[in-house]
Amino acid sequence: MYVVYHGSSSTILPAIAAALHLNQLAIPCHSFEGLEACFKVMNRARGRLVFIGEDHENNQIYVLNTVSSSSIILPALTSVFQMLQINEGLLFLADTSGISNFYLCLSPWLNRLGLRHFSHRVLLHGLSSETDKILKISNKVRGRLKN
C-alpha cells in the first residue's frame, strides 16, 4: 500500500506524522536531529512526493507538502494511479492540515531564517499542545492499514 502524509499549511506535520508512523521519532521529542530531518524532508516535499521508508508491513510511506494547492495536487495524484492502472484502494491519503497552531506555523519560518535551535524549541512548544491529534492521525493510519 502507498501512504501519503500530506498537509496544506506551512507546518512540518506531515513529515513528523510519517516519522512517527515509521518509529523514527517519538513524542515527546527531545531529538533536534530528528526534527531537523523533518524540516529537510518538508523542504524537498513542496509539490513532490518524497519517499520516507517502508513500515514493518511493507507499506510505502511518502510525504507531500501541498502548500496551498491541495485541491489540485491530490486529485492529480489519484489520476496518476488511474493512468498507471494501480488500484486506488492501495492509496491512503493521511491529511494533517487540520492540526495547526501559531507555534507550528512560526517554526518553519524561523528555520528558513537560519534560527534552527530557536525554531526547534518553538516547534516542540507547538507540538506539546497538539500531541494527541498528531498521534491520533498516525495511529489511525496504522490501524486502517492492518484491516
Placement of cell 536531529 in the chain = 33
Confidence bin at 10 (pLDDT 50/70/90)? low
Query: What's the CA gap between 130 and 140, in Å, rounded?
Result: 16
Q: What is the pLDDT of residue 63?
A: 92
Q: What is the pLDDT of residue 11?
A: 72
Q: What is the pLDDT of residue 74?
A: 79
Q: What is the pLDDT of residue 9?
A: 64
Confidence bin at 147 (pLDDT 50/70/90)? low
The DSSP string of 73-94 is HHHHHHHHHHHTT--GGGEEEE
3-class state of residue 4 by DSSP = strand
Instruction: Tell me the residue type at 125.
Output: H
Query: What's the CA gap between 15 and 96, in Å, rounded?
Result: 10
Q: Give the mean pLDDT of the chain.
A: 86
Q: Which residue has the higher pLDDT, 113 or 72?
A: 113
What pTM did the predictor assign? 0.86
pLDDT in tens, 42-87: 878 777 889 999 999 999 999 988 776 777 777 888 888 888 888 8
Q: Which residue has the higher pLDDT, 44 or 124?
A: 124
Over range 114-119, report the average pLDDT.
Answer: 90
C-alpha cell at 52: 520516507
| Residue 108 near residue 22 (C-beta atoms within 8 A) | no
Domain map of the chain by residue range?
Answer: 2-99+131-138
CA atoms within 13 A on the CB side of 31: 14
Q: How far is CA 120 from CA 8, 29, 92, 95, 112, in A?
A: 21, 10, 29, 23, 12
